Amino acid sequence: MMYCLPPLVVYCDHKRRGDCPDSYPVDSGFYPLRFFQELCKIYPAMAFYIFKRLLLFIPTLLGITLITFFLMHSLPGDPVTSMVGERASPETVARIRAELGHDKPLAHQYFGYLKLIATGELGRSLYTQQKVADDLLQKFPNTLKLALAAMLFASFFGIAIGIFSATHRGTAWDRLLTLLSVGGISIPVFWLGLALMLIFAFYLQWLPPAGMGNGNLSYIVLPAVTLGTFSLSYIARVTRSSMLESLSQSYIAAARAKGLSEDVVVMKHALKNSLIPVVTLIGLDLGSYLNGAVLTETIFGWDGLGRYALDGIIKRDYPVIMGVVLFGAILFVTLNLLVDISYSFLDPRVRMKEER
């Protein structure tokens, strides 16, 4: 016997209140429902919260597509004219516009696009006639590689600098690192990328200036450092602030009174309770990186979503623009959900609050 998802969530809500038995019939072959049932047994409040967040996916994505679609069509210019050139005859322009469906009212075009999305398609590029979904799947691994490298660099050094500054508050090192963090936030990405390229690629010739290098890791160093420097600086400042707040709490004094070493107090007790704002920042920045770092990918010739989106904007390739925005929105919303779920594992107080 199989129950649909809403009854299962009702079960989770009953389970969360403690007035429902553990048994709940779910078809053994429908694995998502089985997984959701097991999650209900272990963390009923979390399962109910996840389902409510998933329900918001559809209206969120619909709102994003609606705003993007009408903003895109409200901008001056005509993609058909960009395709055929200004010297094309009016008959040719009218024929191509009719073939693309651009002669219909905007509302009709929008609902036609929604029907296309419902079939699992994102349309075809107006210029290359390639499927947008295929192009996104081809370029996303490149963006993912760059985003993970940049975030690994930013997270490791940002958290380390923040911890060091918090434990050496008021010293010359603290003031120096704070100054460098402010500088890292203030430096424009394009200027930093060109400066790193000039120093390490042309003067010192330690690293390649641009390109992807067929998987050679040396090609990702400069783009990752350029992309991750802003996040590194921000993570360092947030970590320092959060660590200082944690170190002033009474449980830290109690841990020190028990005779625990300073390393244990800082790394085990203070750091763990300071990670929620840091994880939030990391999740937001990673989401923006996965949507494509336009400036970084353009400067270093990185064939990812950022360059793909920029080409689509320059050419007014509507299907490409809509596809990139929708794909990025799905990634961003999903990543934010994962970050919210991680809170309950980082801080037991959040999980206790959910269970009430």
Burial 278-301 (b: 16+ CB within 10 A, else e): bbbbbbbbbbbbbbbbbbbbbbbe
If one counts every other C-beta atom within 10 angstroms of the C-beta of residue 325, the result is 20
Angle between helices 271-290 and 318-346 (to 10 degrees): 170
The answer to whether the CB of 193 falls within 8 A of the CB of 295 is yes
pLDDT (0 to 100) of residue 91:
78
Instruction: Give the domain ranges of the chain.
Output: 5-55, 57-118, 132-355
Mean pLDDT per 10-residue run, the chain (356 residues)? 42 48 45 57 65 79 87 78 74 79 82 85 84 89 90 92 88 90 87 91 88 82 91 90 85 81 79 81 82 82 86 86 88 80 62 49
- How far is the C-alpha of 230 from the C-alpha of 89, rounded, in Å? 49
240, two tokens: 């320092």
Q: Which residues contact 190 (CB under 8 A, 6 or more apart)?
A: 295, 299
The answer to whether the CB of 207 falls within 8 A of the CB of 222 is yes
Specify the length of the chain in residues: 356
Helical H segments across the chain, by residue range: 5-17, 31-42, 44-55, 57-74, 79-84, 90-100, 106-118, 132-167, 172-186, 189-196, 218-247, 250-257, 262-264, 271-290, 294-299, 305-315, 318-346, 348-355
Question: CATH number of the domain at 132-355, please?
Answer: 1.10.3720.10
Amino acid found at 271: L
- How far is the C-alpha of 129 from the C-alpha of 99, rounded, in Å? 13
230: helix, coil or strand? helix
CA 17 to chain centre: 34
14, two tokens: 């009953």
Q: Which residues contact 267 (CB under 8 A, 6 or more apart)?
A: none
- How far is the C-alpha of 280 from the C-alpha of 283, rounded, in Å? 5
15, two tokens: 């389970």
120: helix, coil or strand? coil
The answer to whether the CB of 297 falls within 8 A of the CB of 223 is yes
- How far is the C-alpha of 19 from the C-alpha of 10, rounded, in Å? 11
Closest CA to 122 of 65, 55, 59: 65
